[in-house]
Chain A
Amino acid sequence: MFRTRFTRRLPAAIAVAGLALAAAACGGESTNAGAAPAATADQLNPNADLSKQSVNVTVWDGYTPKELPQKVKDKLKFPLKIGIHDTNETAMTKLTAGGDTGIDVAFVSGQYAQALNEQGLLEPIHPELIPNLSNLYPEATQLSYDKGNKYSVPYTWGTTGICYRSDLVKTPPTSWKDLLQPPSWADKKVTMMTTERWLALPALKALGYSVNTDKDAEIAKAKELLVAAKPHLLGYDDTTFGDKLKSGEAVMVEAWDGWCPTTDEKQNIKFAVPKEGSDLWVDTMVIMKSSKNKEAAHALINYILDPEIHSWAAVNINYKVPNKAAMDKVDIAKGSLLDIKPAELLNGESLIDLGQASVKYTRLATEIKAQS
Chain B
Amino acid sequence: MSPSRGRRLGAFVFLSPGLTYLVVLLLVPLVLVLSYTLFQRGRFGGVVYEVTGENFSRLIDPLYLSVVGTSLKIAGLTTLLALLLGYPTAYLIAQLPRKWKTVALVAVVLPFWTNFIIRVYAWIILLNGPGLLNSGLKALGLGPYELLYNQGAIILGLLYSYLPLMVLPLYAAIERLDPQLREASANLGASAFSTFRKVTLPLTVPGVLTGCLFVFVPSFGNFVIPEMLGGGKSVMVGNLIRTEFLQARDWPFGSALTLALVAVLVVLLIAQSWVARRA
| Complex Cα spacing A236 to B224, Å | 13
**In chain A, residues 5-63, which have Cβ atoms closer than 8 Å to a Cβ of chain B?**
10-11, 14, 17, 20-22, 24-25, 28-33
B233 contacts A230, C-beta separation under 8 Å: yes
User: Which residues of chain A from 57 to 104 have a CB within 8 Å of any chain B CB?
Assistant: 87, 89, 92-93, 96
Residues A25 and B227 in contact, CB atoms below 8 Å apart: no
Tell whether B112 is near chain A: CB-to-CB under 8 Å.
no
* In the complex, A142 has a CB within 8 A of chain B: no
Q: Which residue of A lies closest to B233 (CB)?
A: A235
Could you write out 29 A-B pairs with CB less than 8 Å apart?
Answer: A10-B117, A10-B227, A11-B117, A17-B242, A20-B245, A20-B246, A24-B251, A25-B29, A28-B45, A31-B43, A31-B44, A196-B248, A230-B233, A234-B231, A235-B149, A235-B233, A236-B232, A247-B129, A247-B130, A248-B129, A249-B128, A249-B130, A359-B250, A362-B243, A363-B63, A366-B240, A369-B233, A370-B66, A372-B234
Please determine whether B250 and A115 come into contact, CB atoms closer than 8 angstroms. Answer: no
The reply to whether A30 and B47 contact each other, CB–CB distance below 8 Å, is yes
Please list the residues of chain B having a beta carbon within 8 angstroms of any beta carbon in chain A.
29, 32-33, 41-49, 63-64, 66-67, 70, 115, 117, 128-130, 146, 149, 224, 227-228, 230-235, 239-240, 242-251
Give per-residue flags for A220-252: 1 if the beta carbon is below 8 A from chain B beta carbons, else 0.
Answer: 000000000010011111000000000111000
Known A10-B227, A89-B246: A353·B130 in contact at CB below 8 Å: no
Query: Is A320 in the interface zone, CB < 8 Å from B?
Result: no
Q: Is the CB of B247 within 8 A of A233?
A: no
Least Cβ distance of A311 to chain B in Å? 32
Q: Of all chain A residues, which has the CB nearest B49? A: A30
Are A359 and B251 touching (Cβ within 8 A)?
Answer: no
Q: Which residue in chain B gives the minimum CB-CB distance to A116? A: B44
Residue of B nearest to A15 (CB): B117
Contact A236 B231 (CB under 8 A): yes
- A interface residues, tally (CB under 8 Å): 51
Residues of B within 8 A of A235 (CB): 149, 230-233
> Are B149 and A92 in contact, with the CB atoms below 8 A?
no
Interface of A is mostly: helix
A24 touches B46 (CB 8 A): yes
Give the residues in chain A near B29, CB-CB below 8 Å.
22, 25
Q: Assess the B48–A24 pair: CB atoms within 8 A.
A: no
Given the contacts A11-B117, A25-B29, A370-B67, A92 and B44 also touching, CB distance less than 8 Å: yes
Shortest beta-carbon distance, A187 to chain B, in Å? 11
Tell me the nearest residue of chain B to A194, going by C-beta.
B232
B228 touches A10 (CB 8 A): yes
**Are B46 and A30 in contact (CB-based, < 8 A)?**
yes
Question: In the complex the two chains form, what is the Cα distance from A201 to B82 in whole Å?
Answer: 41
Residues of B within 8 A of A189 (CB): 129
Q: Which of A87, A233, A363 contacts B233 (CB 8 A)?
A: A233
Q: Is there an interface contact between A32 and B245, defined as CB atoms closer than 8 Å?
A: no
Q: A236-B232, A363-B63 are in contact. Are A355 and B43 (CB under 8 A)?
A: yes
Residues of chain B within 8 A of A358, CB atoms compared: 248-249
Shortest beta-carbon distance from B262 to chain A in Å: 15
Q: Which of B46, B128, B247, B250 contacts A2 (CB 8 A)?
A: B247
Beyond A24-B251, A25-B32, A249-B128, whether A30 also contacts B42 by CB under 8 A is yes
Cβ-based interface call for A188 (8 A): yes
A21 to B255, CA, bound (A): 11
Is A106 among interface residues, defined by CB-CB distance under 8 A? Answer: no
Q: Is the CB of B42 within 8 A of A31?
A: yes
**A319 nearest CB across to chain B (Å):** 22
CA distance A371 to B186 in the complex (A): 53
Is B234 a contact of A369 with CB atoms below 8 Å? yes
* A28 adjacent to B63 (CB under 8 Å): no
Q: Hey, which chain A residues are within 8 Å of B248, CB to CB?
A: 196, 358-359, 361-362
Partner of B45, one of A24, A196, A370: A24
Cβ–Cβ < 8 Å partners of B230 in chain A: 235
Pick the most buried of B130, B242, B247: most chain A CB atoms within 10 A of its CB. B247
What is the CB-to-nearest-CB distance from B138 to chain A, in angstroms, rounded to a whole number? 14
Measured between beta carbons, the chain B residues less than 8 angstroms from A24 are 45-46, 245, 251
Complex Cα spacing A363 to B63, Å: 9
> Ordered nearest first, which 8 A-B pairs have the shortest CB separation?
A235-B231, A236-B232, A362-B248, A33-B43, A28-B46, A11-B117, A92-B44, A235-B149
Q: Are A366 and B128 within 8 A (Cβ)? A: no
Please tell me if the beta carbons of B235 and A28 are within 8 angstroms of each other in the complex.
no
Q: Roughly how many angstroms separate A103 CA and B242 CA in the complex, as a whole number?
A: 28
Residues of A within 8 A of B251 (CB): 24, 28
Q: A17-B245, A233-B233, A362-B248 are in contact. List 18 more A-B contacts (CB 8 A).
A: A10-B224, A11-B117, A17-B246, A24-B245, A25-B32, A25-B33, A30-B42, A31-B45, A31-B46, A115-B44, A188-B146, A230-B233, A236-B231, A248-B130, A249-B128, A362-B250, A366-B235, A366-B240
Closest to B40 in A: A30
What separation, in Å, do the CA atoms of A22 and B28 have in the docked complex? 11
Give Cα distance in the complex from A370 to B236, angstroms. 8
Chain B residues near A308 (CB-CB < 8 A) = none
Q: A339 at the A/B interface (Cβ < 8 Å)?
A: no
Q: Are A237 and B231 in contact (CB under 8 A)?
A: yes
Query: What residues on B are CB-neighbors of A230 within 8 Å?
Result: 233
Contacting residues, chain B, for A359 (C-beta < 8 A)? 41, 248, 250
Q: Are B63 and A370 in touch, CB under 8 angstroms?
A: yes
Q: How far is the CA of A137 from the CA of B227 in the complex (A)?
A: 40
For A362, the chain B residues whose CB sits under 8 A away are: 243-244, 247-248, 250
Contacts of A21 in B (CB 8 A): 245
Whether B235 contacts A369 by the Cβ 8 Å rule is yes
- Residues of B near A11 (CB, < 8 A) are 115, 117
A89 to B235, CA, bound (A): 23
Residues of A contacting B67 with CB < 8 Å?
Answer: 366, 370
In the complex, what distance in Å separates the CA atom of A355 from the CA atom of B44?
Answer: 9
Counting CB contacts under 8 A, is A195 at the interface? yes
A194 and B224 CA atoms in complex are apart in Å by 14
Residue A365 at the B interface, CB < 8 A? yes
Q: How far is the CA of A366 from the CA of B248 in the complex (A)?
A: 11
